[in-house]
Amino acid sequence: MEGSATCPGSLLFCWISGQGRYGGFTGLGAKGKPAEKVADEAVSGLLAFLNSGAACDKYLSDQMLLPAVLADGESHWSTNSISNHLHTNVWVTECFGLGKVKLEEDEKLSLIKCRGAGLA
């Protein structure tokens, strides 16, 4: 198969969506980077997520926080890793008095628990 591109490199994106588990994992190529390395990066992220038993990957978890703190009642979900971005989002929501958030960090599986402010 032949094609043209505006830049060299490759990309592999793997995702899981279903059975209560959601995540996306990327391997990004670069000039001189073997395609096998790109595939290893994406697939190793996916396998680590699957082995963790988490419901959401770390990128989706920080996006879920705002709706959770605005909603009424309690929300909770698991993630395979808590990102610095999630820590920042928790800090910002606390500065605005939006609900209560508790992070229970663990090496393999972490939990995010929220009590929403009831604004949504």
Active site amino acids = 85
Three-state SS for 58?
A: helix
**Structure tokens of 115?**
């009590």
CA-to-CA distance for 2 and 46, rounded, in angstroms? 29
Please give the structure tokens belonging to residue 91.
């800090």
Beta-sheet strands, E only, within 20-91: 21-28, 74-79
13: enclosing H helix or E strand: strand 11-18
- Burial (CB < 10 A; 0-12, 13-18, 19+), residue 114, is buried
* Beta strand pairing call for 74-79 and 21-28: unpaired
